[in-house]
Structure 1
């Protein structure tokens, strides 16, 4: 008696409403899937690593996955569509009675965009299984070639450019606390003080979103990026037990005010390198690498202590023309080196901290 073959079990399917969207010569199915379904059917096909049609993705960044998992647990907003390329030819998507019938089988759909979001959700579900029911918008293409996947990937990642960093940092001031970068918020607070306080050497010169276009001045994103490592948890300030915002603001203002004394009325002239990104970034780097330690040794972060540590001749001021044409890192380093050449620390110390 011959063996009785077991019936082949059909894969589980889900039904979901959809909209078909046509763009040029291609079309996709716009729908919603739960995070649990996405984690089952979707996978990343890595360019240069996976030998299959449609491989356009990069290697996963584990730090980014961890960050997205934390975000999913804290907030769980994912309004942008995950973009898939359905490649499972044995179990196809079926349109029936106005719905999509989608087979729930592993490795059925390549991720064109959103691989870190899917991996982050997959990681978050390990500790918070309820996230498996989170609904996520999904755009599904079917059986695209590598070239077609590349076109879509490049369209998303080059033509659809992210918003300016200055706008991101400015919005941190009003967004929910779960969404913000705490160090960026603190750096933004210092940037506001630099721009608005009457005793600041940068009053009215930091460009926030919506500011009139002008030559010179420093973008908010430059200021925040330069200051973040100073104010970050376990950053340069906290390593010296300088935690409160007011003291941090005062120290930054004291440092640049000390430099401004050598320029006098020329400080706000367009020729002054410190009125530009390279000057502010190079100056902040010098503050972090040399001036903070110098002041800590003397228990004094006053403007006078910082000013007395420099010897900058009036005929050798640091000018913007010195770094014109240099790249960002190169120009920042050039400013820092020039400040180092003028740094003439004395050996006197005082008993208690002064600010």
Structure 2
């Protein structure tokens, strides 16, 4: 609710006072449009909205705005703010309420900058959980900002991809990649069986992030093929690759992200040669014929030296595809 004084409007909300260590702060909920009008991210005399636009990622903020406007989701995490002097921030213990002046520079945002910017862009409104610190020095604000933004650990991308499947919250490409990953992880005849890690990074295993990065770059060659058909071709290729490298004592660690992505990146070239020579059956034997010819020209030391570049490591193998003549 709002009341008016000589200097302008005040807003008042029910709040709880919490003490942690030497700090006291207040928890409450504030309408998103109010936050959009009263928060800023830089301590300068300039338009708060321009401040957000210059410092933050508008694409990410627009995604938040679209999510809010869709009306199907929720953002339960608290925005963390520091009340500024212009806010005239007050807490009344008897009524357990806080009041502050509606001013574009009332609150410095310590955490939740993109959410606040998203509130600027959103067409709809919602109540937002908020934590407000009051009477902090600039040094205290800086320390809190650093603590909040360095001590929080983001959820690993591998786990997010796994959870997206459970939530039925994937786009078409993610769905295809996820289905193919699951086939490689669960099919007993998979050349990667026992080497897949669906929800976290794990030594000597292929994560969803690594798998997706490798397969996504060549997904175009399969057109609208079903996930099972893509699995069959890629599995045939990888089976042949593993078999032929073992025959020649070439050490190629497919669980190493650079190696896995490099080996997959040359599949289009290999598949073209298989098609020209054997047709479109794409059996493991067909792939082995072409891959074996390629690996004849690879030095063991070159195959072992993975390095940090996907393209450089892929070239080790594509150089072996070049036709060598005696004339």
The structural deviation recorded for 1:153 is 2.3
Aligned residue in 2 for 1:162: 154
User: Which of 14, 18, 29 is 2:26 aligned to?
Assistant: 29
Are residues 90 and 62 of structure 1, via their aligned partners in 2, closer, same or farther at CA, if it must alter by over 3 Å? closer
Q: Aligned runs of 1:270-309 on 2, under 5 Å?
A: 271-287=251-267, 290-291=269-270, 300=280, 302-303=282-283, 306-309=287-290
Shift of 1:81: 0.8
Partner secondary structure for residue 8 of structure 2: coil
CA distance in 2 between partners of 1:259 and 1:76 (Å): 45
Matches for 1:254-269 after TM superposition, within 5 Å = 254-264=236-246
Answering whether residue 263 of structure 2 is matched by residue 242 of structure 1, we say: no
Does the residue aligned with 1:173 lie in a helix, a strand or coil?
helix
2: CA distance between counterparts of 1:17 and 1:36? Answer: 17
- What corresponds to 1:192 in structure 2? 182
Give the direction of change, closer, same or farther, for the CA distance of 1:315–1:8 in structure 2 (3 Å limit). closer
1:20 is aligned to 2:30? no
RMSD across aligned positions (CA) = 3.6
SS in 1 for 2:17: strand
Q: Distance in 1 between matches of 2:149 and 2:56?
A: 16
Q: Does 1:144 align with 2:136?
A: yes
Indicate how the Cα distance of structure 1 residues 46 and 342 shifts in structure 2: closer, same or farther if over 3 A, else same.
Answer: farther
- Count of residue correspondences: 311
Trace 1:100-139 onto structure 2 (pairs within 5 A).
Answer: 100-125=98-123, 131-132=124-125, 134-139=126-131
Query: Helix, strand or coil for the counterpart of 1:112?
Result: strand
SS in structure 2 of the partner of residue 275 of structure 1: coil
Q: 1:91–1:217: structure 2 CA closer, same or farther, 3 Å change rule?
A: closer
With normalisation by structure 1, the TM-score equals 0.74
What is the rounded CA distance, in whole Å, between the counterparts of 2:271 and 2:90 in structure 1? Answer: 66
Superimposed CA distance per residue, residues 194-217 of structure 1 (whole angstroms, 9 cap, x where no aligned partner): 121233210111123389x6x522
Unaligned runs of at least 5 residues, structure 2? none
TM-score, reference length from structure 2: 0.79
What is the aligned partner in structure 2 of residue 339 from structure 1?
Answer: 317
Shift of 1:91: 3.5
Equivalent runs, 1:216-227 vs 2, <5 Å: 216-227=204-215
